[in-house]
Chains A and B, each alone.
Chain A
Amino acid sequence: MLLETHREAIETIVGRYASPRSAVLPLLYLAQDVYGHLSNAAIREVADILALPETAVFEVVGFYTLFYSRPVGTWMLQVCDDVPCCYLGAEELITALKDSLQIKEEETSADGMFTLQRVKCLAACDRAPVLQANLDYVYDVTPDKVEALLKDLQSRAADARRRGVSGRFAEDFAVTEQGAVELVARDAPYQSRQFEVQGPPPPPEPLPPPEVESGQDRAETRRGSPL
């Protein structure tokens, strides 16, 4: 029972908001970290703590993909398969992970350590291919570094359990050329992935100038409609 085990944390969270309803996301994260995923019972518990209609809390859980309503591994690996990452080997990365873990997407490895998921752009295209492990960013994960990464994560399993699957305390990591997983400090200066560029990129084609909106001639705008 969350209220018994984490009363203080809950009170702090709820105390931050004017209305208990606002505390629903942080409490769900807390519950997810404590239980490893959000079972129906856990969701009802949160509804109960906040005196919200149960359905309303289920709605929230259903809407956000970072709430897991089924058991997941200690590490939730979310690999970006969006376009920039794809260009830089995301599919190969996913294949390497699948081979190494002997699972398919949305499955959990037999030892309960890893769950694999495809996600869309993680907004770190400059360090593609990218994945998140319990929302810890891991940059520059080329397929050849998979083994090293998995070993590193495995060695930090206890730490992952302590920090929780929700990634409330997520950090940034980069995989070096040598396969070492290094913490990227919060205030570290920006660094993009190093490429051997094969030639200068072609100059971008100038965009056509945007149509000037007179702002007055509404009829004109309408004429622009597909009819």
Chain B
Amino acid sequence: MADVTITVNGVTFRVPAGTNVVDAARIGGISIPVFCYHPRMKPVGMCRMCLVQVGTPRLDPATRQPMLGEDGRPVIAMMPKLQTGCTTPVSEGMVINTESDEVQFAQKGVLEFLLTSHPLDCPVCDKGGECPLQNLTMAWGPGNSRFDYNDKVHFEKPVHLGDLILLDRERCILCARCVRFQDELADDPVLGFDNRGRNWMIISKSDPPFDSKFSGNTTDICPVGALTSADFRFKARVWELSSKPVVCTLCPVGCNLSLDMRYDQLMRVMPRENGAVNDIWICDKGRFGHRFIEHESRLTTPLIRKGGHLVEASWDEALALVAEKLAAVQSSRGGSAIAGLASPRLSNEDLYLFQKLFREYFGSHNLDHMPGSAADVDYDEHGALMGVGKGTNLMEMGAESLVLVIGADPEEEAPLYVLRLRAMLERGAKLVVANMRPTKLDRSATTRLYYQPGSELAFVRGLLRAVFDRVGHERLHLKHSGLEQLRKTLSDLSVEQAAELCGVPAETIRAVAQALLEAKQGLIMYGAEARSAGAGMSESLGVLAALTGKVGKPGSGLIALLPGGNSRGALDMGVRPDARPGYAVLSQRGLGAREVWPALREGRVKAVWIAGLDPAAQLPAARAALEAADFVVVQELFLTATAKLADVVLPAASVAEREGTYTNAERRVQRSRQARQAHGEARPDWQIIQGVAQHLSELSVPVAVPTQRVEESSQPVGGKGKSKGPGKTTAVTVAEPSTWDYLTPSEIAAEIAERVPGYAGITYSALAATGQGGDWGRQTNEAIFYDGTNYENSEGIGIQLPNLIEGQKTAVSLGLRPLSKPAHERSLLLVSQSLAYDGDLLLRGSLLERQIPQPYVALSQTDADKLNIKPGDTVRLDSAAGELTLSARVVDDVPAGVALIPANLPNFSAAAVQTGPRTRVNLVKVVTG
């Protein structure tokens, strides 16, 4: 929008038209105090703190031109009353006065009124020290009050608004920031006002109360200490805290956090502004879910199994033992008798070294980052290959962009995306949500549609056909192969036939295809439920992006929601049996986790090294395999079920006790800093891996890489090794033996930058130099506006990786797998639902643990009626694999034909029935008695 010239307190400058007076003055470095106004929300003019004098040039009624005074300057008509700056947009020639006596009189008056019913209990208030009310009173307040102190209204001190947030009604200044955040930004309208007058107060009547995954943000934006978090209340004074920049590893968003530490203790978790990732928000999982760091059950020393018991040992002893045992297995059975599983929450540095050790020392590709359950989904490659283009920033996207969310429930899988997508909508983006069942995001969607359970692939094929019918391949600007094959595959299924299969009307399919074609920028976000349909799904979505020209440019491409904080990093680093770092497919693959368990039982694999995964908790097969293994080493935060079966347990440092980089769903690499000293003797994972490597080299184990193991194809993924892409089979020369003497993770990052395709240039110094997150937080006039809300980002905003096709070195295979006919031998499709609050070990010790549900299976009313099942009944599921007994829920949101169970609950495993990511089951009521 065009700029307009305004004059504030005699200073004339230009600001964008449409800016409100508060923000406009701020551009000129002039502070107008506010309480209710918040730049991320629409102004409401509730608190009157921002009153200013405003005048506009007087227009000549005849010419509509500004009238000029004797001095030749426009005559300014001042408005007769003070105006609220937050609700007044600037206009050309506007004159604003923020310092006149009248304005000061009003400011003093507003503060005097606000304080009439304020308890002034700053000495025991969590907000004290970063409280806008304190600060504004000091700067703009009257200094004393004419009101009788004894006339203050009193309420019972804090009431629980929900499990996590407490409300002190005496302190509330009724600015409605919290209410508006929940209504406008989070779309969880669970807060409201009860009563009126002096009894006006915030309430939450949802069931459960304050039912939102974003509730903690209200404590940040509350301009007083009315909202406090159950997690931080009375723990510390804010001026004692030092803020340490880390990255959240609890989901693939990778929000920037500030761990506020007092000495070495974590007091609270706050958001750190990063416009490209989390803006100024974090979800409750990130805010409350970091108590694992200091949990008393954390491992502090290495443990070695002696006489059947795990006993404490020194690091030297433990590492030497690990090296010795692994070397022994290697020399007797070869490196392929060793397997390694590493968690997708580890940093890139850990994951890189882990696979490097396995590949270079043991010559083993038996690597994985999944637990090896039948429900493990295929490795997601298209999220990287066709990932969002470099330079994608959701904060800058709006009009002319479209987001297709398919088979995903962002609220549970990657909560912050809900806020990001809603902000895009607010700026005019379109949001198409396609799922087999309703999710909360539907409420925000511009188009929502439900396909028949299990028919997502048919739906996407329908979209593809509709796109192809309209534009053919004219938008395909990528190096590609298999176009003919694609043409043929698509001609096999008309849009009408696809509509028939997926239950979405053909017109709707065509309309979505058309909208995607018309949008300038298009994002396709897919999650657990889409991925559980198999790799064919991400492949088809990739082709959809390619055919619609929504790939290889900023603001377009795929976003895969993968489990954990760094699944993308694990895939990039090649912690998988079939590809090296950078998705370089191996011609001879190793064993993935799912194959490792039988191999261990059969003795083909003898030793296994598990870093940060707990397969034994969920999988009886893993348990049996670990019991049968010759040697098991586990590096972990806790003594997990898996660790209990280990021969050596190595205590690992948590994200707070180490540095590292993590790659998020949009392939942005971000650096996390160390916030506290080592927990006991725990060490960062990379150090542990390096320690073992050093001991191995002391044992002078040669870097034995059998030649046939390095025979590999440099052909990219997507080619499936079959099509005739441009990939050439090359023998990669083994890098010269590493010395394994990294001093800091930055040295590993430098090596990654050198060796892992796509990571070129991602060094710690480059990451630090990526600029600030934005202009929030603690700045010159910070206290006036938003103090206590969150923190300036001093660590840079991270670097987005180019997607693999951006370099155009890689050809994309357009070949699609044939649509498989769904088998219907059993009546229901068992789908596991990812939940934000699940059995993740990292939630240990947090207030969120109470919100983890008990195991259940959710059914539609239709199926429940058919099977004569009432809520609460015990039911038995049976599949080709086995049986499972559960309690039933009957839920509106579950479509007929689906049995929904929560994924990854503590002390519960569906492994007994699962035959794959999806399982066909029959269900009967168990009649007891």
Contacts and interface: CB of A to CB of B under 8 A. Distances in A.
A54 B206 contact: yes
A100 interface: no
A16 to B, nearest CB: 24
B850 interface: no
B702 to A, nearest CB: 67
B192 interface: yes
A59 B203 contact: yes
A102 interface: no
Interface in B202-227: 203-207
Contacts of B240: none
Given A222-B102, A225-B102, A55 B78 contact: no
B105 A55 contact: no
Most chain A CB atoms below 10 A, which of B79, B189, B192, B206: B192
A214 to B, nearest CB: 11
Contacts of B105: 225-227
A62 B80 contact: no
Interface string B53-91: 000000000000000000000000111100000000000
Most chain B CB atoms below 10 A, which of A40, A44, A218: A218
A58 to B, nearest CB: 4
Interface residues of B, number: 20
Contacts of B194: 58-59, 62-63
A222 B81 CA distance: 8
Given A227-B101, A227-B102, A55 B80 contact: no
Nearest to B102: A225
B205 A54 contact: yes
Nearest to A59: B192
A180 interface: no
Contacts of A57: 205
A53 B102 contact: no
A53 B206 contact: yes
B866 interface: no
B193 interface: yes
A54 B207 contact: yes
B733 interface: no
A226 B105 CA distance: 9
Most chain A CB atoms below 10 A, which of B101, B204, B205, B206: B205
A192 interface: no
A62 B195 contact: yes
Given A62-B194, A227-B105, A55 B205 contact: yes
Contact of B193 (A43, A62, A226): A62
A219 interface: yes
A221 interface: yes
A55 B77 contact: no
Given A62-B203, A218-B78, A55 B192 contact: yes
Contacts of A221: 80
A54 B195 CA distance: 15
A106 B90 CA distance: 51
Contacts of A59: 192-194, 203
Interface in B183-199: 189-196
Nearest to A222: B102
Contacts of A40: 205
Contacts of B207: 44, 54
Contact of B190 (A53, A63, A225): A53
B204 A222 contact: no
A59 B189 CA distance: 12
A219 B78 contact: yes
Given A62-B193, A63-B196, A218-B78, A55 B102 contact: no
A56 interface: yes
Interface of A: 40, 43-44, 53-59, 62-63, 218-219, 221-222, 225-227
Interface of B: 77-80, 101-102, 105, 189-196, 203-207
16 contacts: A40-B205, A43-B205, A44-B205, A53-B189, A53-B192, A55-B192, A59-B194, A59-B203, A62-B195, A63-B195, A63-B196, A218-B77, A221-B80, A222-B80, A225-B105, A227-B101
Given A59-B192, A63-B196, A227-B102, 10 more contacts: A43-B205, A44-B207, A54-B207, A55-B191, A55-B205, A58-B194, A59-B194, A63-B193, A63-B194, A225-B105
**The 6 residue pairs across chains A and B that have the minimum distance between CB atoms:** A62-B194, A59-B192, A55-B192, A53-B189, A58-B205, A55-B205
